[in-house]
Structure 1
Amino acid sequence: MAREYAPKQIELAVNTIKTLSIDGVEKANSGHPGTPMGLANISFEIFTRYLRYDPKDPTWIGRDRFVLSAGHASMLIYSMLHLAGYDLALSDLEQFRQWGSKTPGHPEHGHTVGVETTTGPLGQGVGNAAGFALAAKLKAARFGEPFDPIRVFTLCSDGDVMEGVSGEASSLAGHLGLSNLIVVYDDNKITIEGETDLAFSEDVGKRYEAYGWFVQRIDGHDHTQIKNALDRAVAEKDRPSFIVARTHIANGAPNAHDTAESHGSPLGKDEVVATKKNLGWDPAKTFYVPEEVYTLFKERAADNQADKKAWEEKLAAWRKSKPELSAELDRFEAKQVPADIYSQLLAAVPEKDDATRGLSNVLQQVVAEKVPSLIGGSADLAPSTKTLIKKSGSVNTKAFEGRNLHFGIREHGMGAICNALALDGGIIPYGATFLVFSDYMRGSIRLSALCQLQALWIFTHDSVFLGEDGPTHQPVEHYWALRVIPNLAFVRPADAVECAAAWTIALGRHKGPTVFALSRQKVPAIKRDANFDPQNVLKGAYVAQEAAGGTPDLVIIATGSEVQLAVGAKERLEKAGKKVRVVSAPCLEIFATQDEAYRSSVLPKGVRRVSIESGVTGPWAQWVGDDGLSIGIDHFGASAPDKVLAQKFGLTVDAVTDRIQKWL
């Protein structure tokens, strides 16, 4: 049972939240003061009455999640975390937006304790919140009662609900009936350019009703209305909840109230003084927290400790009654992967020629059997991406036990949801679509790399050789568009052996996402040298075929379906008297991390280099040198069968060989 607070206690705490946020932005001379002020009342109610958390154990598995989707209002979450007792001192708040501080301009998971997810690009937090709620449902279906009570509370802004990613994720959340998801919409009717009616006049509440959400409308500064709405939202058992809270930006500031200027600029010295006087605050005091407010939050922490103790007692009883399931939970949370997974995958490699999307799916079934944490799905393309887990059912409103998620045609929402599944713990998520549509979810992919998440992005139809769908569907710039994202591994396998390596790399990357780029068309198994060591594939690039007759005159580097072109060109060039080494480079990012000795053993200095890849060629200069030759496609594709395109675009063995001979 939540404590009751006197109006004066509430007012004092709310004004503390407001003034901490004001002072942080003012001292930094940068930031967004108005939104934290407008959301102070709602934040107080969530943290002191509803949110279950333990500041001394911020990763407690049974905690509720709080997501500030309006990440620009970061001083709000920093103020709340400080008051709630997390390891975030007043001195940290005083260093808002400064070099090396724990309080960056937008909240960052892994950087600031208590921040569940990195929210900066608007709408991402709503998508993450849906993912957190889905994760709790998935765990409750697998492990039962201890995970039923986990809830997700989210604050979002006008900007969040305008961005398409939030609509994609919210539509799916409504379809799945994620009743443990509660989103409060800060309807302050102000954006950076002015009042929202400049560009936004829809009824957001009605839109969410159409999504299948339970929608309420309140005055976001009236604590009775806030409590009643949250009580009803918590009690809702069938639908996610959306609370439209009419608020006023910079609430309490005499002149900045309801102004666009207060959205993204400090109030200014004079307005800060006027605001503090208006709130009954001493203008001379900065970063001031009355002891009564600390006491109030300490009491909440004590109540939460009692709730946590009761939850842990329930978990202990559950573990005792279900020891096998308890052990399964521990393996699940650890994302346990067999140490010999690569050997098991190599043993399961199909012997027939096939598209790498098909070969990958055969190996995915082995991974699914050995790694229960693997859960994911496709943006309505599973028959094409070949990413279904065959021995598992689908997740739907009545069954969360399955492992196959159906995201619908919502790539960006899929990305945001998968990121939260990875953040929640226990789940290794994958999201699948065509490689060209990675553009639609680039924001989510980038955040998966920034947050150091073990997320798997399985992208198929990886080249112009998908054929007749034409240039709208044929990726040419996408390999490098993804490779340039820091902390992302882009793996483009040439055959089944390299698909096994791709899965092994992805399962071993605990602090970064992996992209699979898989072909639509069939590819042959690469004939490798007799002394080939499969372990070298895990190093990102390796010698697939050594030059005949000694030190090579030429090294041909290729990826994916173009490795077969390199092999064919080598054979013809050697008949013409050249000594040619073929290097397959399924993952340049992994190769770049190898020691100099290994890199030089694969790409010896002083030997001329050629790259072959069915995409843009410019960035290959870093691997072949300014005097090297890069064969690829520096234009958009065309609609035709794949073999015709190969002829027209010069990506046949004859054309490649001729090009290299002329260059030599």
Structure 2
Amino acid sequence: MICIASTIGYGAPCKQGSCDAHGSPLGADELQKAKEALCWLADSPFSVPENVYTFFRKAVSRGKKDEKKWQESFNNFRQNEPALAAGFDRIMKGDLSDGWESALSEFPNGSKDVATRKAGEIVMQSIAGKIPELAGGSADLNPSCFTWLKGMGDFQSPKLSKEGLHGMVGGAWDYSGRNIHFGVREHAMGSIAVGMALHGGIIPYTATFLTFADYMRPPMRLAAMMGLRAVFVFTHDSIGVGEDGPTHQPVEQIMNLRQVPNMTVIRPADANETLEAWKIAITNIKGPTTLIFSRQNLPVLDRSVYASASGTKQGGYVLWESASDPDVILIATGSEVSLTLTAARKLAEAGTKTRVVSMPSWELFDRQPRDYRDKVLPPQISARIAVEAGIKLGWEHYVGLNGKIIGMETFGASAPGPVLYEKFGFTVEKIIEAARDLLHRS
């Protein structure tokens, strides 16, 4: 570690070393005194001495020479390797290769339960060969987040020994590798991804546990501010994490991320919504996409019974309903969707006309035309319940002040996931009870 003692506002005799030199202008008198102290003779503001100007202008001619040299080299490359050159042009423009979606296939009905983090891994392996510009890694959590590109190489110095290293993926061991080992440094990981996105030619992704999203907020916020194409993957998304306890159980993080302007947040309910979420992330060129995945296995919803997962593109869609004029609407995301479906069916069996809306992305849903949103959530139906294993604040946006929210009001606890779901009220019985209470009131 190199420590350097510096003085803020150095040279300003009355303000150096104080907070006055940080957040406000020096003022005309202090500025003049600073110039005198630093032997700066120019009186006019923003004056640049001629010799300094001449020296720095050399960078222009030098840059033009370097650019011309590079362009000539690339033109020769284009003649010898036209296909590779065309590929380079494509990725630098931000276009995807033709037919990249052909590598994807839906998870069939009857598939065994699978965590959305694992489904995400399957999707990534499928598209990696078709999208060579996809590159990234995790904060030392490859075996947990499953966000590796298997066999696509480790981005490392070839001089570095492989012995004892964690999370290797196989393939090349040099700077051609597409898997970056960021280490346990989430802020730096996010910043590196932002830098790669700014350069262009790469679709960067990162991954860590959702509770650690707080460490990454500054670079994620900047990615949203600059409209960069980057994918931020977060797994272990709720109290379903289990015995790791409240330090590793995110509560407020999803809602925090939803508040970032131009950030698209998607929390899929099953493997097929996960597939759709990755499609959305890859094609989103106007800002970053955050994918929120479960640690625990979730049912792969039978799409012959429920609506197609393609509705994920709209952010929210009618997943199932017992009647087209429901008495109550249940809205859920992620791992709580299958739970909500079970409650809805029981309500319907008891004579309550019920609709279930899967709402993986607030941002995508709110961008839809008013007619579509009103079709999914008819304004005249005020009996609405939101179910999400995260903080409640914000769901009023969809359920209104008269609706109910089944969510978290405290931090989690250390116990198996199913035990915690029962303890914090994420049960079929609690959803049914809330629905009946709403209908009784109306």
For Structure 1 versus Structure 2, the TM-score category normalised by the shorter chain is: 0.7 to 0.9
Which of 77, 84, 97 lines up with 1:318 in the alignment?
A: 77
1:364 deviates by 0.8
Match runs of 1:153-192 below 5 Å: 187=4, 189-191=6-8
Q: Kindly indicate whether the alpha-carbon contact (under 8 Å) linking 2:404 and 2:434 is maintained by their aligned counterparts in 1.
A: no
Mapped pair 1:598 → 2:358: no
Alpha-carbon distance between aligned partners in 1 of 2:433 and 2:15, rounded to the nearest angstrom: 71
By how many angstroms is 1:369 displaced?
Answer: 1.5
1:434 to 203, 209, 214: 209
Q: Distance in 2 between matches of 1:403 and 1:501?
A: 23
- Residue 579 of structure 1 aligns with an amino acid whose one-letter code is K
Sequence identity percentage: 43
CA contact (8 A) 2:403 2:438 kept: no
d(CA) in 1 for partners of 2:112, 2:155:
32
- Partner in structure 2 of residue 536 of structure 1: 311
The residue number in structure 2 matching 1:556 is 330
Aligned twin of 2:390: 615
How far did residue 453 of structure 1 move?
A: 1.2
Alpha-carbon shift at residue 658 of structure 1 (Å) = 2.5
Matches of 2:175 and 2:42, distance apart in 1: 53
User: What TM-score, normalized to structure 2?
Assistant: 0.88
The answer on 1:396 being equivalent to 2:156 is yes
Query: Counterpart of 2:167?
Result: none
**Alignment partners' CA distance in 2, 1:650 and 1:257:** 57
Q: Is 1:341–1:504's contact at 8 Å kept on the other side of the alignment? A: no
**Pairing 1:193-204 to 2, within 5 Å after superposition:** none
- 8 Å CA contact retained: 1:462, 1:520: yes
Correspondent of 1:414 among 189, 204, 216: 189
Residue 358 of structure 2: which of 579, 584, 604 is its match?
584
Mapped to 2, the partners of 1:574 and 1:423 lie a distance apart of 51
User: What are the ranges of 5 or more consecutive residues in structure 1 without an aligned counterpart?
Assistant: 1-166, 168-184, 192-248
Across the two proteins, how many residue pairs are aligned to each other?
420
1:616-645 per-position Cα deviation (integer Å, ceiling 9, x unaligned) = 112101110000011112111111111211
- The code of the aligned residue for 1:430 comes to Y
Q: Establish whether residue 382 from structure 1 lines up as the match of residue 142 from structure 2.
A: yes
Q: RMSD of the TM alignment (CA)?
A: 2.4
Q: Is the 8 A contact 2:107 2:272 kept in 1?
A: no
1:528, distance to aligned residue in structure 2 (A): 4.4
Distance (Å, rounded) in 1 between the aligned partners of 2:15 and 2:267: 54
Q: CA deviation at 1:494?
A: 0.5
Q: Distance in 2 between matches of 1:331 and 1:349?
A: 33
1:269 to 9, 28, 33: 28
Query: Does structure 2 conserve the Cα–Cα contact (< 8 Å) formed by 1:448 and 1:455?
Result: yes
Counterparts of 1:546 and 1:340, CA distance in 2: 35
Offset at residue 343 of structure 1 (A): 6.3
Aligned residue in 2 for 1:57: none
Counterpart check, 1:308 vs 2:125: no
**TM superposition score normalised by structure 1:** 0.60
Output the CA distance in 1 between the equivalents of 2:251 and 2:93. 38
What pairs up with 1:215-234 in 2 under 5 angstroms?
none
Q: Is the 8 A contact 2:238 2:251 kept in 1?
A: yes
1-side partners of 2:240 and 2:273: how far apart?
Answer: 19
> Counterparts of 1:491 and 1:371 in 2: how far apart (Å)?
21
Q: Do structure 1's residue 653 and structure 2's residue 413 form an aligned pair?
A: no
State the match for 1:520 in structure 2. Answer: 295
Work out which structure has the larger RCO, using CA pairs closer than 8 Å and 6 or more positions apart in sequence: 2
Offset of residue 384 of structure 1: 0.7
Cα separation, partners in 2 of 1:325 and 1:620, compared to 1, 3 Å: same
Which amino acid in 2 is paired with 1:476?
A: V
Task: Supply the distance in 1 between the matched residues of 2:100 and 2:402 (Cα, whole angstroms).
Answer: 41
SS at match of 1:378: coil
- 1:273-310 deviation line (CA, Å, top 9, x unaligned): 34556646353x33445666555544431232122212
**Pairwise CA distance, 1:649:** 1.8
Alignment partner of 2:127 out of 350, 361, 367 = 367
Deviation track 1:89-136 (CA, whole Å, cap 9, x = no partner) reads xxxxxxxxxxxxxxxxxxxxxxxxxxxxxxxxxxxxxxxxxxxxxxxx
Between the aligned partners of 1:325 and 1:373, the Cα distance in structure 2 is 13
Partner of 1:565: 339
